[in-house]
Structure 1
């Protein structure tokens, strides 16, 4: 099954493994009952690759903090779009308000893999869940609208772990589309690394994951808050270190990296 995943799908399986590890901790920051199943179904993709194991450990703390932060961010949304939804199961594991609708946008192969595993587990979403199989570099806007997305309704947009895989032009095009689709009151969030390519976490990751690092194209680099402000958003930022303290974890990441949250 894992052999059918595209290269970026490999990172999704790895992240699922890290979420499974966090879910097994007594002091876990979240609980993902499906993460282990995703990793088990796709783990063959890592066989004989010790470097990938070490790369995963570099990101373990980041993934735990990121997942909890983004869980809290999407909480309460009545129309939510998960851009590059990957193998996270928020539609199945979070409490959603009545009438909430979640659109999961990702590559067809990734969503097909996800559907197979969730079906085998008998998973049932806790909201109205709509998978949208499309490449975000293609006309994903039309695809989402065709599935019933309402641009007149405030939307919660989440682009978890995505922008670093896009070129600056691709990131700007995607966020411009998000802006055009966002009614007043909409919110958006994604990773923010003010040091851009010099971010310490990325530099450490490159030591162990040349294959994964080759997929990174930088996104908006360190300019995300400025870009958002120029396009009608009110951005705020928070660092992984600050969130670590808030969540009762030792701050392990000595970079300034974190997340941007913006309101329309």
Structure 2
């Protein structure tokens, strides 16, 4: 039985490794019967989906010319799982690379951007593996049970957040995610960037609620990017024009201008070939066009102050 290695340190030239089996890889959200059987020891579908995503990053790390290196994905994988040697599509890994690059380039080119919100499956290793600017605050919104399990695994392999950064978790199950984010220090008067990849949503209403939360908290001009499951689309998925119209309507209703990113273009820009043209996700980047609730409140207070100052000076109107 073949095995792979789990990286616990980078760069590749100085790897410290632990031998660990890897998982099969597929672009589609549904699992094959074989993979389902291998994950039978734990029936939590959210955990299975998170492990599946980790396995895709793990296998990409050890390709001859990987799109990215995830030195921690291997610690999440279950034992006694044979490696699937079949060729696999690159959609998920292309999206991960695209999001990684967009995150860091945006962070490094906009003054004051120190807030990152990751809407994830609970096993996103970006807080540990990306080179964050000093004083970055990273918020992770994900299932509580998966996040706790992942945190224990990461601690066990010595994964650490940069000392100059702060990492905070918000349980997906929280009754008021917006309020908890604020309570933990999120500031709607400061720039932020939001990522949606891996977070499980069961209905269109669930996703629309999340977009509404982002719209309330994100300043005008902030970015929201990630992968959206195709099945959320109300229109015919096979029609690119109708899917785009649906995306425009969904995001614009929450104050975002959205752009659909084609996986094939991402692959070409990275010098890769897409193994399959079919994928059950839509890669997107959306720009917020509205002021956040905090910005509106700041404006209201400033306007009130100006009015009060004018009254004190003997003017009834501005």
Task: Name the structure where helix makes up a greater proportion of residues.
Answer: 1
Secondary structure of 2:273 counterpart: coil
User: What does the per-residue CA deviation read over 1:167-193, in whole Å, with 9 as the maximum and x for residues that have no partner?
Assistant: 111111111111011112211012246
- The reply to whether residue 228 of structure 1 matches residue 266 of structure 2 is no
| 2:286 is the counterpart of 1:262 | yes
* Kept after mapping to 2: 8 A contact 1:199/1:255: no
TM-score (norm 1): 0.77
2:196 to 159, 169, 186: 159
Q: TM-score, normalised by structure 2?
A: 0.65
SS at match of 1:149: coil
Unaligned runs of 5+ in 1: 201-219
Contact 2:42 2:48 in 1 (8 A): no
Query: Is residue 210 of structure 2 the alignment partner of residue 174 of structure 1?
Result: yes
Contact kept? 1:225, 1:235, Cα under 8 Å: yes
Contact 2:91/2:274, CA 8 A, preserved across alignment: no
**Structure 2 gap segments, 5+ residues each:** 1-39, 108-112, 289-318
Structure 2 Cα separation of the partners of residues 105 and 230 of structure 1: 23
1:124 is paired with a residue of what secondary structure? coil
- Residue aligning to 1:79: 115
Aligned match of 2:273: 250
SS at match of 1:223: helix
Structure 2 CA distance for aligned equivalents of residues 38 and 142 of structure 1: 31
Distance 1:3 1:131, change over 3 A: farther
How many angstroms apart in 2 are the aligned matches of 1:243 and 1:13? 25
Does residue 135 of structure 2 align to residue 99 of structure 1? yes
1:147 to 184, 191, 208: 184
- Are residue 70 (structure 1) and residue 99 (structure 2) matched? yes
- Conservation of the 8 A alpha-carbon contact between 1:6 and 1:110: no
Q: What is the CA-CA distance between 1:250 and the residue it aligns to?
A: 0.9
Deviations 1:76-129 (A, max 9, x none): 252010112521211111111111111011111011111101110111112311
Q: Give the equivalent residue in structure 2 for 1:90.
A: 126
The CA deviation at 1:134 is 3.2
Q: Deviation digits for residues 206-259 of structure 1, max 9, x if unmatched?
A: xxxxxxxxxxxxxx9972233212332222121111111111111223248541
Match of 1:237 among 235, 245, 260: 260
In structure 2, distance between residues paired with 1:248 and 1:10: 31
Aligned 8 A contact 1:225 1:260 in 2: no
Does the CA-based 8 Å contact 1:13-1:43 persist in structure 2? no
Superposed, 1:7-156 pairs within 5 Å as: 7-39=45-77, 42-43=78-79, 60-75=89-104, 76=107, 77-126=113-162, 127-135=165-173, 138-156=175-193
After superposition, the Cα gap between the structure-2 partners of 1:193 and 1:118, relative to the gap in structure 1 and judged at 3 Å, is: closer
Task: Select which of 189, 193, 199 maps to 2:225.
Answer: 189
Q: 1:229–1:57: structure 2 CA closer, same or farther, 3 Å change rule?
A: farther
> Which structure has the higher relative contact order (CA within 8 Å, separation 6+)?
1
- CA 1:246–1:103: 2 relative to 1, 3 Å: same
Q: How many angstroms does 1:150 deviate by?
A: 1.1
User: Does the 8 Å contact 2:119/2:198 carry over to 1?
Assistant: no
